Amino acid sequence: MFIDKSMTRDVVTVSPETGILAAQTLMAQNSIRHLPVVVEDDILVGIVSDRDIRSAMPSTLLSEAEKATEERRLAAMKVKDIMTTNLVTVSPTQTLEDALLMMQNLKVGAFPVVGPDGKLNGIISVRDLTRAFVNVLGLEEPGALLGIVVENKQGQMKKIVDAITEQGVPFGSILVSRVWEEGKRAVFPYLLTNNISKVKNHLRELGFTLLDPMDWYLDQLPKR
């Protein structure tokens, strides 16, 4: 899955000379949290986030005189004064998996998508990634998630797929955890039916151990 297939192309942008209050208004009007900063020919030179703008806002503890001074300062501030210029960008030919891992590692919510010519092609955000994976995994269709513990050896996945197919139940998707416990993995088929009792019974008859996907998820959360 490539970024150029899921990125937002109709990007709201600002110039370095845009006032930060005008940028804040643009974010609110478009329900967005990031504004790429471009110059002529859509060359990307920075990005400004809602966090950048909030950091520039005056403290609520200021006196009235101090507030008036700060308001004048804000009115004069430009995007170029607070934008991030040390940019991390992605290319249209990178994958959604690349973008997801980068967001996780860098703790950011969006990346500008830039072509080899330095021009802004779009933006890929957590919202875009969520929409793309919901579509790929078939989650928009009604169904149910099943959890199965399997031995980490060849042939197990085929057994599961064959067992479910024998029941005439279609798949939306199937995910596999890297590690469940020593020598085992957890498999999570998303089945396009809400009646999975017969599938569960059949899998148990074949010797598979089932688990509640929510219990599995909670078990993986960091312990306080």
* pLDDT, tens only, 84-126: 999 999 999 999 999 999 998 999 889 999 999 999 999 999 9
What residue type is assigned to position 102 of the chain?
Answer: M
Domain ranges within the chain, ordered by starting residue: 3-135, 144-220
Give the Cα separation of 26 and 5 in Å (integer). Answer: 25
Assign 1 a pLDDT band (cuts: 50, 70, 90).
Answer: confident
Give the Cα separation of 26 and 137 in Å (integer). Answer: 33
The predicted pLDDT at position 87 comes to: 92
Q: What is the pLDDT of residues 30-80, one digit of tens each?
A: 999 999 999 999 999 999 999 999 888 876 666 777 777 777 888 899 999
The residue-averaged pLDDT of 153-164 equals 91
Buried b (16+ CB within 10 A) or exposed e, 176-215: eeeebeeeebbbbbbbebeebeebeeebeeeebeebebee
**Do the first three CATH levels of 3-135 and 144-220 match, i.e. the same topology?**
no
Return the SS3 of 210: strand
Write the CATH number of the domain with boundaries 144-220.
Answer: 3.30.70.260
Give the Cα separation of 165 and 156 in Å (integer). Answer: 14
For 102, what's the count of Cα atoms within 13 Å in the CB-facing half-sphere?
A: 20
What is the token pair recorded at 111? 């990346």
Q: Which of 18-32, 134-148, 187-201 shows the lowest per-residue confidence on average (mean pLDDT)?
A: 134-148
Write the CATH number of the domain with boundaries 3-135.
Answer: 3.10.580.10
Which residues contact residue 18 at a Cβ distance below 8 angstroms, ignoring those fewer than 6 apart?
A: 37, 78, 79
The residue-averaged pLDDT of 155-160 equals 92
The predicted pLDDT at position 62 comes to: 62
The predicted pLDDT at position 175 comes to: 85
Q: Is the pTM of this model over 0.75?
A: no
The predicted pLDDT at position 75 comes to: 85
The predicted pLDDT at position 18 comes to: 97
Contact 78, 19 (CB under 8 A): yes
What is the token pair recorded at 224? 């306080």
What is the token pair recorded at 13? 């942008």
